[in-house]
Structure 1
Amino acid sequence: MNRKPVELYVYGAEILCPSCVNLPSSKETYEWLEAAVSRKYPNQPFVIKYVDIHNPPEEESVKQFASRVVEEDMFYPIVLLEGKIVGEGNPRLKTIYSELEKYGYKAV
């Protein structure tokens, strides 16, 4: 495979978003998404990172988006795929898979 791995970011917080009370936590969503993508697209590398919106890393673009999530009261977790929002609150695998396939990922 000669392409650069797609980057997925899961933005969230330890405390559940008020509208997401019966949903998995952001961290659980991150772990679930990592496992699901690995199963669906084995041997097709991708990078997935979890970002705590209240304590983001120093990387400026990541920090700015984390601030945006807080300021705009977005439903988290928010999944970004190559900078595009592909899931908010309760992300759907079908949507994420569809976006990955635009980058050449093939389901096995």
Structure 2
Amino acid sequence: MNTNEVEIVLYGAEQLCPSCVNLPSSKETYEWLEAAIARKFPEQPFKMKYVDIYQPVGDSEKVNFAKKVIEEDMFYPVVVIKEKVVGEGNPRLKTIFAELEKHGYKAV
């Protein structure tokens, strides 16, 4: 069982990205992802953070990455674990789970 808390940051916006029509909103993706991770890795701590790319708050690293999402026309929401982009536009649970397992998380 993993006891190290990993921070998962989801960068998104209220408005859907132009290429992401018919996909859930960033907030919906955030809630879905948080629930899916909690189910897959029960009783293993993790921290979820949502950063609005148009009104970023938090440390300079998060604010700068939010600007990068806009400047590089990345498909959002963008999911980042330990500074590694693990999902963009329509994040895949399999990819996110695999990254968490690299950090010691064990699926139940």
Pick the TM interval, shorter chain: over 0.9
The alpha-carbon distance between structure 1 residues 58 and 94, as it changes in their structure 2 partners (threshold 3 A), is closer
Please tell me the root mean square deviation across aligned C-alpha atoms, in Å. 1.1
Partner of 1:104: 104
* Per-residue deviation, 1:3: 4.1
TM-score (norm: length of structure 1): 0.96
TM-score (norm: length of structure 2): 0.96
Partner of 1:43: 43
The 5-angstrom pairing of residues 1-108 of structure 1 reads 3-108=3-108
* Per-residue deviation, 1:59: 1.0
* Per-residue deviation, 1:4: 2.6
Q: What is the aligned-residue identity percentage?
A: 68
Residues 9 and 48 of structure 2 are in contact (CA less than 8 Å); yes or no, is this contact kept in structure 1? yes
Distance 1:19 1:65 in 2: 20
Which letter does structure 1 place at the counterpart of 2:91? Answer: P
Which letter does structure 2 place at the counterpart of 1:19? Answer: S
Q: Provide runs of 4+ in structure 1 moved above 3 Å.
A: none
Figure out how many residues of one structure are paired with residues of the other and give that number.
108
